[in-house]
C-alpha cells in the first residue's frame, strides 16, 4: 500500500489510518510492504483481480427496497464484506450482498490495516447457499463452518491488533496458500502479519457455475464485523475510506487470485476448532438473578400485568445448522446468541412466543453482565421488527449497563456489578437513562410482494408489529471463542402492560 511519509502530508482521514500504519511498520523495524510488488511477484500462472471491501448497511438497503429484509444485522455494529467478482445471479434475499463462488485452487486475499481500537472485530467466511441433490434450487443457509480470525487471534505487524498492518488469505488449497504467502513475503509482508483461514475443501462444494446456469456449487460471503469503537470518529473514518476512489488509500485492498487451470491440488482438511467454555460458570449468581426478577415484578405489580418470554440459544454452531439444512442468518463462532419473542427461524414461532407492544407497554430485559463475570468481552441487546423486515429498532451495549439495577435493588446492592436491567418502549414512553426507545429508520419503505411492489407502504411500528429480542455475548477472553451456553445464566425478557 502506498502511503505518505510524514503526518504533515496526511489528510485527517489518512492521519487516522495510513500514517498510523507507517509508524507501525517503522516501529516494528520491518518494511511496510507493497501491494503492487505482491501482485507483480505472483507466479506468472496466477492472475490477480482487485475487488473491494464494502460497508454494508442492511437496514438502509431494506428500507430502500433493495433487500427484502435486513437479515437481523446488529444496528450499531458495522459490517464490511469482500467483493470479488461477485455471483452473476444471487438469490433475491441476498442480491445486494457480494456473494461469490470459488474454485478449489483460488484464493481471496486482503492486505491493509486492521480497524482502529474497538472491543471486537473479526473476519468470518459463510456458506450462503447450497444445492442439495436431487433438488435443483439452492437453499439459504448463511452459516459459518468453523472459526473466524478475530481481535484476539489475528496476527499483525507490531504490538496489538488495532490500526496495524495485516494480510489475510482465504483459500481451500495449500499450494495456492504457499504461493500467495511467498509473494507476500517478497513484497515486504512478513509471516508475522500473514493470516490464513482455510476453506475446508472436504465439506464444501467448490467450483464456478457458468453464467445463465442454475447454482449447483456453494455460494460464499466473507464478513468483517466491528463493534464498539473507542473513537467513533476514527471508526467512521475507517469505514468511509473503504470507498476511496484512490485504491492505494483504502484501508483494505482485496484480491481474487486465480491460477491457470491444470495444476495439482492440495486441499486443506477440516481444521481443529477452538473449544467453547473453560469450566467456570455464572451459577453462583443465580440467587441474585432471581432476586432481581422478583424486584422488577414487585416494582410494577400495582399498575401493570406482565408476561415473561424465556430466552433460548440460537445459531450456536453454524455447521450444525448446515447439517440440518437450516438458515442461521449469520451466526458467529465468536458469540453466544440468546433470543426471545417472535423468531420462527429459531423455532420461536408458537402463539406463546408472539411479542408485540401496545403504545403504553414496555419491555424489561435483564440478566447477568456477562462481560463483568468474565464470560464475554461485551454484550449487546437488539429489539427487532422480526416478522418481515428483520431490522433493529433499538440497540444497547454492555458499557451502558452500569447502575441499571439500582431502581430495582437499590443503590449499592452487592450484586449490582454483575447484573443489569434495561427497558425498551415507544419513544414517548421512555424515560430515564436505562430506557431505550424503539425507533424506525428514517424514510423506510421496505420491499413488499407483488402486485403491491413497487408501491409499497412505509413501515409503521404499531401494536401489531411482531418483535424479537436478540442478546449477543461476544468472545470469552480466556478461550478466544464464543461462550458455552452451559456456563452462562440466561438473560430474560418481561413485557409489562397497563392493568
Render pLDDT for 479-494 as a digit per residue (tens, 0 to 9).
999 999 999 999 999 9
- Confirm whether 268 is domain-assigned: no
Tell me the average pLDDT across 298-309. Answer: 98
Q: What per-residue confidence (pLDDT) applies to 32?
A: 62
| Whether 295 and 248 share a structural domain | no
- From CA 265, how far away is CA 262, in angstroms rounded? 9
395 in the same domain as 461: yes
pLDDT value of residue 385: 97
C-alpha distances out from residue 268 to 42, 145, 227, 263, 265, Å: 21, 14, 31, 15, 9
pLDDT at 30 over 80: no
Question: What percent of the chain lies above the pLDDT cut of 70?
Answer: 93
Determine, yes or no, domain membership for 273.
no
pTM over 0.85: yes
Same domain, 309 and 229: no
According to the model, what pLDDT value does residue 319 have?
Answer: 92
Question: Within a domain: residue 350?
Answer: yes
Q: Does the residue 275 lie in any domain? A: no
Say whether both 195 and 326 belong to one domain. no
Mean pLDDT of the chain: 91
Cβ burial of 453 (10 Å; 0-12, 13-18, 19+) is: exposed
Q: Does 365 map to a domain?
A: yes
Instruction: Tell whether the model's pLDDT for residue 10 goes beyond 50.
Output: no
Residues 6+ apart with CB under 8 A from 472: 74, 335, 336, 337, 379, 380, 381, 382
Same structural domain for residues 241 and 292? Answer: no
Q: Per-residue confidence at 455, pLDDT binned at 50, 70, 90? A: confident
In a domain, 271, yes or no: no
Residues pairing with 83 in the sheet: 52
Give, in order, the Cα–Cα distances in Å from 397 to each of 74, 76, 439.
11, 9, 16
- What sign for the dihedral angle of Cα 245, 250, 256, 259? positive
48: its cell numbers: 490477480
**Among 29-38, 206-215, 464-473, which is the least confidently predicted range?**
29-38
Same structural domain, 375 and 254: no
Structural domain count of the chain: 2
Give the three-class secondary structure for 345. Answer: helix
Name residues whose C-beta falls within 8 Å of residue 270's C-beta, 6 or more positions apart in sequence: 146, 200, 202, 203
The Cβ-side half-sphere exposure at 206, using a 13 Å CA radius, reads 18
pLDDT at residue number 432? 84
Contacts of 473 (CB under 8 A, 6+ apart): 335, 336, 337, 338, 370, 375, 376, 379, 482, 483, 488
Residue 59: give the domain boundaries: 7-259
Amino acid at each position: 500500500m502506498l502511503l505518505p511519509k510524514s503526518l504533515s502530508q496526511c489528510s485527517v482521514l489518512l492521519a487516522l489510518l495510513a500514517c498510523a500504519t507507517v509508524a507501525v511498520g517503522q516501529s516494528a523495524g520491518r518494511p511496510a510492504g507493497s501491494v503492487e510488488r505482491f501482485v507483480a511477484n505472483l507466479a506468472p500462472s496466477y492472475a490477480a483481480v482487485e475487488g473491494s471491501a464494502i460497508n454494508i448497511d442492511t437496514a438502509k438497503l431494506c428500507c430502500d427496497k433493495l433487500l427484502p429484509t435486513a437479515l437481523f444485522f446488529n444496528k450499531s455494529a458495522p459490517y464490511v464484506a469482500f467483493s470479488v467478482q461477485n455471483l452473476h445471479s444471487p438469490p433475491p434475499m441476498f442480491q445486494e450482498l457480494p456473494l461469490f463462488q470459488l474454485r478449489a485452487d483460488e484464493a481471496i486475499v486482503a492486505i491493509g490495516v486492521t480497524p482502529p481500537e474497538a472491543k471486537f472485530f473479526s473476519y468470518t467466511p459463510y456458506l450462503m447457499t447450497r444445492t442439495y441433490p436431487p433438488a435443483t434450487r439452492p437453499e439459504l443457509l448463511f452459516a459459518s463452518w468453523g472459526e473466524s480470525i478475530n481481535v484476539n487471534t489475528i496476527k499483525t505487524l507490531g504490538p496489538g491488533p488495532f490500526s496495524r498492518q495485516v494480510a489475510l488469505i482465504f483459500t481451500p488449497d495449500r499450494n495456492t496458500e504457499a504461493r500467495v504467502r511467498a509473494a507476500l513475503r517478497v513484497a515486504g509482508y512478513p509471516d508475522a502479519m500473514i493470516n490464513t483461514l482455510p476453506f475446508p475443501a472436504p465439506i464444501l462444494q467448490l467450483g464456478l457455475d457458468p453464467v445463465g446456469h442454475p447454482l449447483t456449487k456453494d455460494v460464499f460471503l466473507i464478513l468483517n464485523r466491528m463493534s464498539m469503537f473507542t473513537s467513533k470518529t476514527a471508526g467512521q473514518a475507517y469505514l468511509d475510506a473503504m470507498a476511496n476512489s484512490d485504491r492505494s488509500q483504502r484501508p483494505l485492498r482485496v484480491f481474487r487470485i486465480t491460477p491457470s487451470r491444470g495444476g495439482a491440488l492440495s486441499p486443506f482438511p477440516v481444521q481443529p476448532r477452538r473449544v467453547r467454555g473453560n469450566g467456570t460458570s455464572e451459577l453462583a449468581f443465580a440467587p441474585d438473578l432471581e432476586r432481581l426478577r422478583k424486584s422488577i415484578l414487585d416494582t410494577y405489580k400495582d399498575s401493570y400485568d406482565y408476561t415473561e418470554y424465556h430466552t433460548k440459544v440460537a445459531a450456536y454452531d453454524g455447521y450444525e445448522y448446515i447439517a440440518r439444512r437450516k438458515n442461521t442468518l449469520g451466526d458467529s463462532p465468536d458469540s453466544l446468541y440468546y433470543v426471545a419473542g417472535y423468531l420462527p427461524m429459531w423455532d420461536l414461532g408458537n402463539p406463546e412466543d408472539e411479542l408485540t407492544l401496545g403504545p403504553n407497554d414496555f419491555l424489561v430485559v435483564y440478566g447477568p453482565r456477562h462481560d463483568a463475570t468474565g464470560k464475554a468481552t461485551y454484550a449487546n441487546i437488539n429489539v427487532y421488527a422480526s416478522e418481515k423486515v428483520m431490522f433493529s429498532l433499538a440497540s444497547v451495549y454492555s458499557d451502558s449497563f452500569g447502575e441499571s439495577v439500582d431502581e430495582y435493588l437499590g443503590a449499592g446492592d452487592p450484586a449490582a456489578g454483575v447484573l443489569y436491567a434495561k427497558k425498551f418502549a415507544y419513544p414517548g414512553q421512555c424515560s430515564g437513562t436505562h430506557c431505550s426507545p424503539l425507533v424506525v429508520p428514517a424514510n423506510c419503505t421496505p420491499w413488499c410482494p407483488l402486485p403491491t411492489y413497487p408501491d409499497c407502504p412505509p413501515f409503521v411500528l404499531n401494536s401489531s408489529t411482531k418483535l424479537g429480542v436478540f442478546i449477543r455475548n461476544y468472545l470469552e477472553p480466556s478461550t478466544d471463542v464464543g461462550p458455552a451456553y452451559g456456563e452462562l445464566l440466561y438473560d430474560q425478557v418481561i413485557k409489562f402492560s397497563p392493568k
